[in-house]
Amino acid sequence: MKKITALLLILSLVLVMLTGCGSSNKNSDAGSDNVIRIGVYEPSSGDNGAGGKQEVLGIEFANTIVNKVELGGKTYDIKLEIVDNESSNDKGPTAAATLVGKKCSIVLGSYGSSVSIAASDVFGNAGIPVIGVSCTNPQVTLGNTHYFRICYLDPFQGTVLANFAVDQFNAKKAYILTKLGDDYSVGLGNYFKEAFEALGGTVIEENFQEGNSDFTAYLTTAANAGVDVIFAPTSTEAASLIIGQAVSQGINIPLLAGDTWDSSVILEAAKGSSQEIFVSTFFDEGDDSAAGSKFVKDFKAWLNANPDKLANNGGNDIVAAVSALGYDAYMVAVEAIKAAGTPDPKAINEVLWNVKYTGVTGDIAFDEIGDAIRNVAYIKRSNNSDASWEFVAIQSVK
Amino acid sequence: MEFINKNLPYILAGISLGGQYALISIGYTMVYGILRLINFAHGDIFMFAGFAMVYLAASTPLYVSIPLVIIITVILGFLIERIAYKPLRSAPRMSVMISAIGVSYLLQNLAWYFTSGLAKQYPKIPWISGSITIGSATTPIVTIITPILTVLLVIILVMLIKYTKIGMAMRAVSKDFETSQIMGININSVISFTFIIGSFLAAISSILYFTSYSTVTPVAGAMPGLRAFVAAVFGGIGSIPGAVVGGLIIGMCENITKGLGWTTFSDAFTFALLIIILVAKPTGLFGEKTTEKV
C-alpha cells in the first residue's frame, strides 16, 4: 500500500512537470512570427532579489504601455520572458541560456554587475544584444560589442560621491566597507577611495563576507578612528543591518552609498532615527520634468492597482530609481527594434549604437564602448521622520 | 582605560552574539543527542519565528504577539518532526538527514514566496530595543539581557533533564534508542518534546537576535544556523553546556578578529579554531567518548 502511494505521488509530480513543460513549449511555438520576445535577465531571489524585482516592475510597467510594435506593415506583439538569475554567478549563465533558447530578440538586465558579467558570454555567443539596466561596473560593457547599458558607471559614481563627501561635510577621513567577492561593492569602493584620496582625504578600508549579519565591530572601528563619513556600497540586505546597528550603537556619522541603497528598505530601516543617509542615484521621485512626473504618477497608480506588484515593491508605492531605469531600458529596446525594422537580434545589435532616446531618467545615447553618456547623478538623503527621500543636489564631477 | 574604552564594544557584541548562537545550538545538540540527526531545518525555524513576529506585531500588541510567536514556532517544530522525520524513524540515518535538508529549503522558499524576498524590519520591543551606554560603549539593552537569559534558560533546561521524569526518559533514549523503547518509554513523545524545547529556544533566540540585527530575510536563518551548528560541534555535539560554551567562544572569536582589523579572516579564523579543537579532541570540548558496540 505504502509503495503504491509513493508511486502515485511520484507519478503525479512527473505529470505536473511534463504538462508544465508542454504548455510552455506550445506558447513559444504559437505564432512566433508575430511575437517579439524581450528577455528579462534579473534576480528575483538571492542577495539582490529585492532590487531586481523593483527593476522588473519598471520593465513590466513599460510593457503595459507599449506592447505592440509595427515593423514593415506588420504588427508584432511584444512579450516579456522573465527569468530569475538568483543573484548568483553560477546560476546566471543557465538562466541566460533559457532566454537564448526562447529566441529573445534583445535582453534587459541585470541588477548587479557580477551576474551580468557572468552571463555576458552566453548572450554574446548567441548574438543577442543586452541592455544593462543598473549594472554600474565598467567590466560589463568593456571588451565586447553586445552589452550596452543605460545607467552611469562606478568610476563616475565613486567620484561623484567622493566630491559630495568633501563638498558637504568637508570630510578628511572616510571609512569604506565593502563585501568580499562582490564586483559592484569592491569596485565602487575602490573608485571612491581613488577619488577621495585625490581630493586630499585618507581612507580606512574593511570588508565583510557573504552572510555576515554582525556589523557592530565594523562600526566600532569606524567610530574609534574618528572618520567623517562611512561609505558602504552594499546590497540592501546588508544595508538595513548596517543602518539598524548604527542606530542602536548611536554612531552619528553620515552614511554614504551608491545606487543600490535607493530603496524603500533603507527608509524603513532608518525610520524614526537620527542617522543621516545619503545616496547617489539615477532618478529622483520628486523630479518635476514633464516625462518624470508623468511616469511617477502613472507608475504609482499601476502599483496600487495590482496588489502583487505592490508587494514586489516592498508593500509601498515609493518609486525606486531602478524601476525608472527599467522603464527606460525597455523603451530603448523598443526604439532599437523599430530602428532595425526586424526582430533579428544581430540587426538590433547593429542599430543600438545609434539609438537616441529621451527617457524619464534623462537623454540616453551610447558611446563607443556601449555605455550611456551621463554626467550627473542625483544625491538624495533620507528623511527619517516620514520615511521618504529628500532631494539634496545634482552632483557632477569637478 | 583607553584600551578598555576602545575594545568594550567588540567584547559586548561578542558576548551577545555568542549567547544567541548558544540558544540556537542547544536545539541542534539536543536533537542530535536523541535522534543522532543533524536537524538542518533548525536555522530556518529560527528565521520563521522572525517573520512570524514581523507579521504578528503588525496586527496585535506585543504582549499577545510574543507568546503567540513562541507557540507558533513550537507548533511548527513539532509538525516538522511529525511530518518529515517520524515516518523515517526506521529508515537509514542518511534519509532523515536528506529529509531535514528538504525541509530547510522548503521553509526558505516558502518565505521567499510569501515575503517577496524584500528585507523586513523587525518590530521594536520596548525594554530590550533601547540603547544604554556602558563606559564608552553605546549598545542595545538586548546585548546585556542575552547572556543572562541564556544562562538562566540553560540552568532550567539542565534541571529539567536531570530531575524530571521526561528528562530521565530523554537521557535514556539518548543512551540507547531500542532498549528504552523495550523498557516502556514512549519514544515518540520524548522526541516530540525534544523538538518542542528546541523550537522554543529558537523562538527566544530569534527574538533576541532580530532585536539587535533588525532585518529579517528568508536566508536570515542560514548563517546563524551554520555558526550555531559549528558551536554545537565545537562544544561536543550532544552536550548542552558544550553548546553554550561553544556558542560563546564562536561569537567572541568572530568579533575579536574583526576588532583586530582582520575582517577578511573572521570566518577563516573561526573555522580554523574548530579544526584545531577537533584534531586535538575529536568529540569536541565537552563531548563524551562513546564506545562503539559491535
pLDDT in tens, B216-265: 888 888 888 888 888 998 888 888 889 999 999 988 888 888 888 787 78
Angle, helix A236-248 to helix A216-225, in steps of 10 degrees? 60
Put simply, the chain A residues between 229 and 268 with a CB less than 8 A from any chain B CB are 236-237, 240-241, 244-245, 248-250, 265, 268
Rg (chain A; Cα; Å): 22
Query: Scanning the structure block, which residue is given the C-alpha cell 564562536?
Result: B250
Contact (Cβ atoms closer than 8 angstroms) between residue A100 and residue A127: no
Gap between the Cα atoms of B64 and B61, Å rounded: 6
Contact (Cβ atoms closer than 8 angstroms) between residue A140 and residue A116: yes
Min Cα distance B64 → chain A (Å) is 24
Pairwise CB contact (< 8 Å): B222 & A220: no
Pairwise CB contact (< 8 Å): B261 & A245: no
Gap between the Cα atoms of B148 and B168, Å rounded: 26
Show me where the domains of chain A are located. 35-152+301-365, 154-281+377-395
Pick from B118, B131, B219: which is nearest to A248 by CB?
Answer: B131
Pick from A53, A180, A214: which is nearest to B17 by CB?
Answer: A214
Nearest to A56 by CA among A314, A334, A326, A329: A326
Mean pLDDT of A14-23: 60
Please name the residues in contact with B23: beta carbons below 8 A apart, sequence gap of 6 or more: B150, B153, B201, B202, B204, B205, B208, B247
Establish if B251 belongs to a structural domain. Answer: no
First to last CA, chain B: 59
pLDDT at residue A301, as a whole number:
93
Which run of H or E residues covers position A279?
strand A277-281
Gap between the Cα atoms of A295 and A319, Å rounded: 10
Q: Where are the beta strands (DSSP E) in chain B?
A: 120-121, 131-134, 137-140, 215-216
Say how many CB pairs under 8 Å bridge A and B: 109
SS3 A311: helix
Gap between the Cα atoms of A308 and B109, Å rounded: 17
Min Cα distance B286 → chain A (Å) is 27
CB-CB neighbors (< 8 A) of B91 in chain A: none
Mean pLDDT of chain A: 86
Task: Write phi, then psi, for A342 (nearest 5 degrees).
Answer: -155, 155
pTM tops 0.90: no
Pairwise CB contact (< 8 Å): B213 & A213: yes
Establish if B115 belongs to a structural domain. Answer: yes
The CATH architecture assigned to A35-152+301-365 reads 3-Layer(aba) Sandwich (3.40)
pLDDT in tens, B165-219: 999 999 898 888 888 889 889 989 999 999 999 999 999 989 988 888 888 888 8
Task: Write phi, then psi, for B60 (nearest 5 degrees).
Answer: -130, 155
Task: Give the chain B residue whose CA is nearest to the CA of A209.
Answer: B264
Pairwise CB contact (< 8 Å): A236 & B9: no
Establish if B140 belongs to a structural domain. Answer: yes
Instruction: Provide the domain limits for residue B150.
Output: 20-222
pLDDT in tens, A70-90: 888 888 999 999 999 888 888
Angle, helix A290-305 to helix A321-340, in steps of 10 degrees? 110
Give the burial string for B66-94 (b: 16+ CB within 10 Å, else e).
beebbebbbebbbebbeebbeebeeeeee
pLDDT at residue B67, as a whole number:
93
Residue A73 touches partner B, C-beta closer than 8 Å: no
How many domains is chain B partitioned into structurally?
A: 1
What is the value of ipTM here, to two decimals? 0.77
Gap between the Cα atoms of A268 and A388, Å rounded: 9
Gap between the Cα atoms of A106 and A365, Å rounded: 17
pLDDT in tens, B100-147: 999 999 999 898 888 777 778 888 888 777 778 777 777 788 888 888
Establish if B239 belongs to a structural domain. Answer: no
The CATH fold of domain A154-281+377-395:
Rossmann fold (3.40.50)
Query: Omega into A110 within 30° of 0, i.e. cis?
Result: yes
Q: What is the DSSP string of B167-181?
A: HHHHHHHHH-HHHHH
